[in-house]
Chains A and B, each alone.
Chain A
Amino acid sequence: KQEVTQIPAALSVPEGENLVLNCSFTDSAIYNLQWFRQDPGKGLTSLLLIQSSQREQTSGRLNASLDKSSGRSTLYIAASQPGDSATYLCAVSRGTGNQFYFGTGTSLTVIP
């Protein structure tokens, strides 16, 4: 069974700092990996999707990398802002591509 781990569980940084969130998974036979943010009381918002054949994706201040062989992904956030405060989740799809496994998330607080 696929296990997805996110470390740290919580992170607090001053505004403007660059930061890295980590996601690791036990089974490297994945089809893709997706990063989401979740705001309190709200659903999940997709940030970046990396297909298994890709090594990274970028969107604005966000950059996600994928190393399938080592079972790791990182989400890099540049020049953090208070509006980035949220819980960040990673999810991998495997099997036929239709089963998703989520990490438990990293709660990020950006202090003004």
Chain B
Amino acid sequence: EAQVTQNPRYLITVTGKKLTVTCSQNMNHEYMSWYRQDPGLGLRQIYYSMNVEVTDKGDVPEGYKVSRKEKRNFPLILESPSPNQTSLYFCASREGTGYMNTEAFFGQGTRLTVV
């Protein structure tokens, strides 16, 4: 079954404690991206990757890092989480980039709370 898998689904952490949210897709998609969803603000893009070792900033990249060492994985790293990063996070992937982009597939979401 084609899917995007995020882990963990729920996470409560303390300010400043580094954490990683994993994202994996089994569709051999080139493009992967991360979003955060906040009430009244909708989904906002954090980072995206067009292929292995190729990443770029989205709308709200501050406080986040990503890496793309393998095509299937795109982890989101919070080096020093702060309470304003409490949010619902989604990972997505799709085949192709730029002009060739197709429909996007989303993971189930990770609800992060930073206290």
Interface residues, chain A, with chain B CB atoms under 8 Å away: 4, 31-32, 34, 36, 41-46, 49, 89, 91, 93, 96-105
Contacts and interface: CB of A to CB of B under 8 A. Distances in A.
Interface string B78-115: 00000000000010100001111111111111000000
A105 B42 contact: yes
B62 interface: no
B32 to A, nearest CB: 11
Nearest to B9: A41
Nearest to B102: A49
24 contacts: A31-B98, A31-B99, A31-B101, A34-B103, A41-B109, A43-B107, A43-B108, A44-B92, A44-B104, A49-B102, A89-B43, A91-B43, A96-B98, A97-B99, A98-B31, A98-B33, A98-B98, A99-B48, A99-B59, A100-B33, A100-B43, A104-B41, A104-B42, A105-B42
Nearest to A41: B109
Contact of A89 (B42, B102, B105): B42
Nearest to A102: B43
Closest 9 CB pairs of A and B: A102-B43, A104-B42, A97-B98, A44-B106, A43-B106, A49-B103, A43-B108, A46-B103, A102-B42
Contacts of A97: 97-101
A98 B50 contact: yes
Contacts of B43: 89, 91, 100, 102
Contact of B104 (A96, A100, A103, A104): A100
A99 B58 contact: yes
B29 interface: no
A44 to B, nearest CB: 4
Contacts of A102: 35, 42-44
B22 interface: no
Given A34-B103, A104-B41, A98 B108 contact: no
A31 B31 CA distance: 15
Given A34-B103, A49-B103, A99 B45 contact: yes
